[in-house]
Amino acid sequence: MIVLEKRPQPSKAWSYATPLVAVVATMLFGGILFAILGKNPVEAIGTIFWEPLFGEFAFYYRPQLLVKGAPLVLIAIGLSLGFRAGIWNIGAEGQYIMGAIFGAGAGLAFYPLDAFYIFPIMVIAGAFGGWLWAMIPAFLKVRFGTNEILVSLMLVYVAEQMLASVSLGLLKNPEGFGFPGSRNLQAYDSAHNAELIAGSGMHWGVVTALIAVIFAYVLLNRHMLGFHIRLTGEAPRAAKFAGVNPARLILFCLGVSGALAGLAGMFEVSGPSGVVSIDFNVGYGFTAIIVAFLGRLHPVGILLAGGLMALTYIGGEIAQSQLGLPAAAIQVFQGMLLFFLLAFDLLTNYRIRAARSEVA
C-alpha cells in the first residue's frame, strides 16, 4: 500500500524539480496524445519546442517570443505579489482591457498632433486605467469585506462591454466606413509603441516586463513590504503580530497588479495590435495566472514560465500548419502542463512511502 506522508519541511529540491518534471511528463503524455491523433510524436514535440528557437525561421520566431511573452510576464509579476499574500486578483483581463482603452484613448485624443510627450502620457494613462479598475475590488474588500475573487472576475465582463462600446462609439475610426475599431496606432508615429531595434521584437512592453521582474525580486527579498507580503501569505497570525496593516496590503497588491496589467494592455494596443477592437483581448490576463503559478510566484520563475508559455503558443501554431495538428490538441497540451505542475507539486510537501500494514 502507498501512503502520502507530510514532510516536516517542504522539500527544496522538489520545489525546483517539479517544473522540470512537469514539462517532461507533459512531453510524454502529449506525445501519446499526438500519436493517437496519428501524428509522429517526436516530430510534433520537436516542432513545438525546437522550431521557434532553432528552426529555419527562428530569426522571426525568437523576437515573437518576446512579443507574446512580455504581456504574460508583466501581468503575472503583478499577480504573484497578491497571490503570495493570499489576495486573489482574478480580473487582470479586465484591467488589461481598461489599460488599453485609457492608453489608446489618451493617444487618440491628440491625433494628429506630433509630439514626444504623447507616448509617455499614454503609458501613465494605461497604468492608471488598470489601477483604477483594480481599485474597485480593493476598495470594496477593504470597506465592505467583499470577496475580491468574484468582484475582480465579474469586472472583466464589464470591461469587455466597455471595450465593445468604445470600439463602436467613442474611439471608432471616423475613416473606417462604419466598421468598428479605432484608428491604427501603428500608423500614428507619436503614439506607436514601435520596436526599439527593427526586427528584434523588443518594444517598450518587453523592457517594462524585465524591469518589473527586477523590481519584484528586490521588493520581495530586500524590502520590508515584500517581507510583509510573504509573511501574510505564509503565516497570517504572525503577520498580525508583526503589525502588518491588511488594508494597506490589499490596496497595494491589487493596485500594483492592476497597474501592471493596464500597462500590458497599453503596450499591446499601441504596438503589436495597434487597434482598439471588440476582440482586442485574447486572454492574456487569464493565461498570466497559469504563468504566475508555473513560475512558483517567483519573479525569475515567472520570466521563464512566460517564455515557456509563449513557446507553446508559437510552436503550437507551427505544428498546426506544418503537421495539421488540431488547435484543440495544442490547448490540451498546454492544459497538461498546468495539470502536471500542480500534481507534482504534491511532492514538495509530501513524500510517497510504501507502508507496511501494521497490526495494532
Partner 1 sequence: MKFTSLLTSAAMALGLATGAMAEDKTKVGFVYVGPVGDGGWTYEHNKGRLAVEEEFGDKVETVFVESVPEGPDAERVMTQMALEGADLIFTTSFGYMDPTINVAKKFPDVKFEHATGYKTAPNVSVYSARFYEGRAVQGHIAGKMTKSNIIGYIGSYPIPEVIRGINSAYLHAKAVNPDVEFKIVWAYTWFDPAKEADAATVLIEQGADVILQHTDSTAPQAAAQEAGNVVTFGQASDMSEYAPFPRVSSIIDDWAPYYIARTKAVMDGTWESANTWDGIREGMVAIGEISDAVPADVKEEALALKAAMAAGEYHPFTGPIKKQDGSDWLADGETADDGTLAGMNFYVEGLEGEIPQ
| Stretch of 98-106, 148-156, 229-237, 323-331 lying at the interface with partner 1 (CB under 8 A) | 323-331
Nearer to partner 1, 142 or 166 (CB): 166
If one asks whether residue 177 binds partner 1 (CB under 8 A), the answer comes out as yes
β strands within 260-354, DSSP E: 350-354
165 is an interface residue for partner 1 by CB under 8 A: yes
314 binds partner 1 (CB under 8 A): yes
Q: Considering CB under 8 A, how many residues would be counted as binding partner 1?
A: 45
All 3 cell numbers of residue 163? 471595450
- Taking the complex as a whole, the smallest distance from the CB of residue 234 to partner 1 amounts, in Å, to 38
- Based on CB atoms, which residue is closest to partner 1, 137 or 274? 274
From candidates 31, 320, 332, 343, binder to partner 1 by CB under 8 A = 320
**Minimum distance from residue 218 beta carbon to partner 1 (Å):** 31
Buried b (16+ CB within 10 A) or exposed e, 276-289: bbeebbeebbbbbb
Question: Residue 68 half-sphere exposure, CB side, CA atoms within 13 Å?
Answer: 23
For the bound state, the minimum distance from the C-beta of residue 164 to partner 1, rounded and expressed in Å, comes to: 5
Segment near partner 1 (CB under 8 A); pick from 18-26, 76-84, 95-103, 277-285: 277-285
The SS3 of residue 206 is: helix
For the record, the C-alpha cell of 111 comes out as: 491625433
212 grid coordinates: 518589473
111 by DSSP, 3-state: which?
Answer: coil
Q: Does 354 bind partner 1 (CB under 8 A)?
A: no
Q: Using the 8-state DSSP alphabet, how is residue 351 labeled?
A: E
User: Which uninterrupted H or E stretch holds 4?
Assistant: strand 2-6
CA dist., res. 221 & res. 57, Å (int)? 40
- Look-up of cell digits 493596464: 262
Residue from the set 274, 301, 306, 307 that interacts with partner 1 by CB under 8 A = 274
Residue 95, C-alpha cell as written in the block: 484591467
Residue 282 as a binder of partner 1 (CB under 8 A): the answer is yes
- CB closer to partner 1, 119 vs 280: 280
The Cα-based distances of 186 to 63, 126, 173, 242 in angstroms read 18, 17, 13, 50
Provide the mask over 35-74, with x wherever binding to partner 1 is found by CB under 8 A and - wherever it is not. ----xx-xx--x---x---x--x--xx--x--xx------
112: preceding bond cis by omega (within 30 degrees): yes
Task: Name which of 272 and 299 has its Cβ closer to partner 1.
Answer: 272
Q: Which is nearer to partner 1, 121 or 168 (CB)?
A: 168
Nearer to partner 1, 73 or 229 (CB): 73
E strand or H helix that includes residue 269: helix 246-270
Interface with partner 1 by CB under 8 A: which range of 130-138, 149-157, 257-265, 326-334?
326-334
- Of 256 and 309, which CB lies nearer to partner 1 in the complex structure? 309
Q: Per DSSP, which regions of the chain are E strands?
A: 2-6, 350-354
279 touches partner 1 (CB under 8 A):
yes
Residue 349 Cα to chain centre, angstroms: 26
Q: Which of 18, 190, 277, 348 binds partner 1 (CB under 8 A)?
A: 277
Report the alpha-carbon distance of residue 196 to residue 193 in Å, rounded: 9
Angle, vertex CA 194, rays to CA 173 and CA 180, nearest 5: 15
Which of 169, 175, 241, 243 touches partner 1 by CB under 8 A?
169
Residues that bind partner 1 (CB under 8 A): 39-40, 42-43, 46, 50, 54, 57, 60-61, 64, 67-68, 164-165, 168-169, 172, 177-180, 184, 186, 268, 272-275, 277-280, 282, 313-314, 317-318, 320-322, 324, 326-328
